[in-house]
Amino acid sequence: MSTAKRVAGEAAAELVEDGMRLGLGTGSTVAYFLDALAARGLDVAGVPTSEATATRCRELGIRLLDVATTDALDLAVDGADELDAGLELTKGGGGALLREKVVAALADRFVVIATRDKLVDRLGDTFPVPVEVVPFALGPVGRVLTERGFELTERTDAEGRSYRTDNGNAILDARMPAGIADPAVTDVALALIPGVAAHGLFLDLATEALLGDDEGGLLRR
Ligand code: 5RP
């Protein structure tokens, strides 16, 4: 039980209004949001960003929308691994980055819920950038990232096997030892590597942040 995550998740649930179409993020902070949302008993529906979130929504009775037939969302709520003062994010610690980015881009309003200690001066300072890679391209993508100065760790599952996302892809966690000097340049450079399906830099997407702390406080950004 995390007070900081609960405070952020509950504050986000208060933003939801009857009839809204939602983007439903992934992770332990979002779990508090989903619980608080279900408790409100509103008539809402949402696009889940992972199979785990879809399963939890079914358990809680939150109606699901098919992204294929959803042209826009009123509000997306999701966690983050890092955020900076300009609300730029690193995401993907839970492996759901590709669907999370698709859903965030569909939303008129994208609220990040996180603990206050995830605020950083510069993206990449505390968390690597997750890079989702089509398995066929793991070798070539790994070589390109290494040549560009990233230190790589291929993500593994609990049994030590190569991790697979809900999309069947692998993840390389890419750390830049000197930090990410220009996230906008890195954003485009990573996206252009053949075989990269998505990466965890989320720029110009978040519209606000709700940051909880362990004393029950909430910082709004
Ligand atoms: C999943 C994510 C999560 O939102 C991020 O990892 C934060 O998770 P948590 O709320 O459990 O700290 O990006 O892909």
Whether complex ipTM tops 0.85: yes
100 noted as active-site residue: yes
- In the prediction, which pLDDT does 47 show? 98
pTM of the model: 0.96
**Ligand 1 lining (C-beta closer than 6 Å):** 25-29, 78-81, 91-97, 100
User: How far, in Å, from the CA of 199 to the mean position of ligand 1?
Assistant: 14
- In the prediction, which pLDDT does 163 show? 98
DSSP the chain: --HHHHHHHHHHHTT--TT-EEEE--SHHHHHHHHHHHHHT---EEEESSHHHHHHHHHHTPEE--GGG---BSEEEE--SEE-TT--EE--TTS-HHHHHHHHHHBS-EEEEEEGGGB-SSTTSSSPEEEEE-GGGHHHHHHHHHHTT-EEEE-B-TTSSBP--TTS-EEEEEE-TT--S-HHHHHHHHHTSTTEEEESEE-S---EEEEE-TTS-EEE-
| Residue 40 predicted with pLDDT over 90 | yes
